[in-house]
Structure 1
Amino acid sequence: MFSFRRSPKSKNDLKLIRFIIKQFGYRPKKLLLFKIALTHKSISNSSDKLISNERLEFLGDTIIDAIVADFLYHKFPEEDEGHLTKVKSKMVSRKTLTSIAQSMQISDHIVYQTGRSIRLATLEGNAFEALIGAIYLDSGYDAAKKSINHSVLRTHLDLPTLLEKEIDFKSRLYIWAQKNRLEIEFKLFNEKFADGKWNYGIEVFINSNPYGRGSGDSKKSAEQAASRETLQLMGMI
């Protein structure tokens, strides 16, 4: 079997290897996988010897989804499924992945047919997914997870800024607390049923000190109201 490890490396091969190591924190074993990941169908259709990155893109999309879900599950242990789903959708959106790809300058390595009306931004996001798919096939799920968690997310994604754009006061408060290594606790101080309706009162405690209060017809809405008041008290909104 032909070994890409033992074969002489061209200047372009070495350039690609250095790129993968720098941006993904991963050293390729089967370099052909990464060449395919960067090959767009516009050029592969012109030669029987070239394979497009579409299948690797499909695989990478699924792997990224699973890794980000795992990351959020452990990062936000107090959040419910709805919140985690909303955050994940922002992290794996086409806009976010394209932004990461552009930060990595993936376009410098994509092989595609120039002179056609091809939107480069679309190619970049797809190539990023394909590269994750290549890492997965090359070394497995743990290698892909390590690359995303320790290289991609730390270097190319500003998660706090991404999440602060949400009008989700509780999430904003949690993010602020995590950045400042503070403990957040929501305590129920009132719960009553009157006129056919429930009303809940929630108070926010930061490092055991009381801050904002809020009320609502559900604990979740009361927590949002208390978080909003806390952020207001701190001058953050």
Structure 2
Amino acid sequence: MASIKNIFNSRTNKDGDFFFTIRKILGFKPKDLAIYEKAFTHRSSNETNAEGEPQNYERLEFLGDAMLSAVIASHLYKKVPGGNEGYLTKMRSKVVSREHLNELGRDLNLIKHVRTTIPIQQFGGNIHGNVFEALVGAIYLDRGYAYCEKFIYKRVIKPYVDIERLEGKIISYKSLFIEWCQKNKKPFKFSVYEDTGNDALKHFAVRLILENKVVGKARATSKKKAEERAAKRAYYKLQSEIDKDFT
């Protein structure tokens, strides 16, 4: 009994809380807690191991991205036997899109457990998806492919992968709009104009011009986001025309 008592005494309350938090998220017991601690460590912490190697989630994020793609690809291959390579690739892209991964990370409130020296509110939206990918990578290293697959089925495939819904899901309104314009030989351009807003963060304002007519306007903290929002507004304005060419 003394040895068991020593084991529990050796774990700090903080480690114990993190262990139970991770177990609840995973649905099974983690073996190597250190891997999960790395999955929740932002590079701003500047942590390194004995060899001087950075200890943050970025490498695990890379691994998790690959594991997600592999498991989702396998599921779609079995689920849609008539789907060709292009169809399956497009469907997988919809499941592992940055927008969807961010949604998964937010649903699990993963950012709450991130160790960082930067105030959480200063992070962009992609932090949620990045940590989710890192968590998947950590599961693979800790428990292997079978547990990793089990987690992805529980947290991604079962609640979110509906083939009919995914077929109608638009990943990028900007890409769709550009494809439609090119298909119909319609001239268009995204034009950045002066933003007179008083926001604390710098914003970009964009007009989407189609055949010399403004069909969408938007502003955001990056040019890319502003263009995507402008394209989304243009899509809903011209939805009947655009959908006619893609159905």
TM-score (normalised: structure 1)? 0.60
Equivalent residue, structure 2, for 1:103: 107
Equivalent residue, structure 2, for 1:81: 85
Whether the 8 Å contact between 2:94 and 2:169 is mirrored in structure 1 is: no
Distance (Å, rounded) in 1 between the aligned partners of 2:117 and 2:36:
18
Distance (Å, rounded) in 2 between the aligned partners of 1:110 and 1:94:
19
Equivalent residue, structure 2, for 1:39: 41
Equivalent residue, structure 1, for 2:21: 19
Equivalent residue, structure 2, for 1:126: 130
Paired letter, 1:36: K
Distance (Å, rounded) in 2 between the aligned partners of 1:125 and 1:116:
14
Distance (Å, rounded) in 2 between the aligned partners of 1:83 and 1:75:
12
Paired letter, 1:82: G
Distance (Å, rounded) in 2 between the aligned partners of 1:152 and 1:11:
31
Equivalent residue, structure 2, for 1:147: 151
Distance (Å, rounded) in 2 between the aligned partners of 1:28 and 1:138:
7
Distance (Å, rounded) in 1 between the aligned partners of 2:20 and 2:78:
31
Distance (Å, rounded) in 2 between the aligned partners of 1:20 and 1:115:
22
TM superposition shift of 1:119:
2.1
Equivalent residue, structure 1, for 2:11: 9
Paired letter, 1:40: H
Identity %: 36
Equivalent residue, structure 2, for 1:93: 97
Q: 1:20 to 1:77 in 2, by over 3 A?
A: farther
Distance (Å, rounded) in 2 between the aligned partners of 1:143 and 1:126:
20
Equivalent residue, structure 1, for 2:140: 136
TM superposition shift of 1:120:
4.2
Structure 2 residue runs without a partner (length 5+): 1-6, 171-246
Q: 1:41 to 1:73 in 2, by over 3 A?
A: same
- What is the CA deviation profile of residues 169-209 of structure 1, one whole-angstrom value per residue up to 9, with x for unaligned ones? xxxxxxxxxxxxxxxxxxxxxxxxxxxxxxxxxxxxxxxxx
TM superposition shift of 1:109:
0.7
Distance (Å, rounded) in 1 between the aligned partners of 2:62 and 2:100:
17
Distance (Å, rounded) in 2 between the aligned partners of 1:113 and 1:104:
21
Q: Which of the two has higher C-alpha Rg?
A: 1
TM-score (normalised: structure 2)? 0.58
Distance (Å, rounded) in 2 between the aligned partners of 1:108 and 1:30:
21
Paired letter, 1:85: T
TM superposition shift of 1:118:
4.1
Whether the 8 Å contact between 2:44 and 2:117 is mirrored in structure 1 is: yes
> What aligned pairs does 1:148-187 form with structure 2 within 5 A after superposition?
148-155=152-159, 157=160, 159=162, 161-165=165-169
Q: 1:115 to 1:131 in 2, by over 3 A?
A: closer
Structure 1 residue runs without a partner (length 5+): 1-5, 167-227, 229-237
Paired letter, 1:145: E
Paired letter, 1:51: Q
Q: 1:117 to 1:18 in 2, by over 3 A?
A: closer
Distance (Å, rounded) in 1 between the aligned partners of 2:120 and 2:141:
31
> What aligned pairs does 1:184-199 form with structure 2 within 5 A after superposition?
none
TM superposition shift of 1:154:
2.5
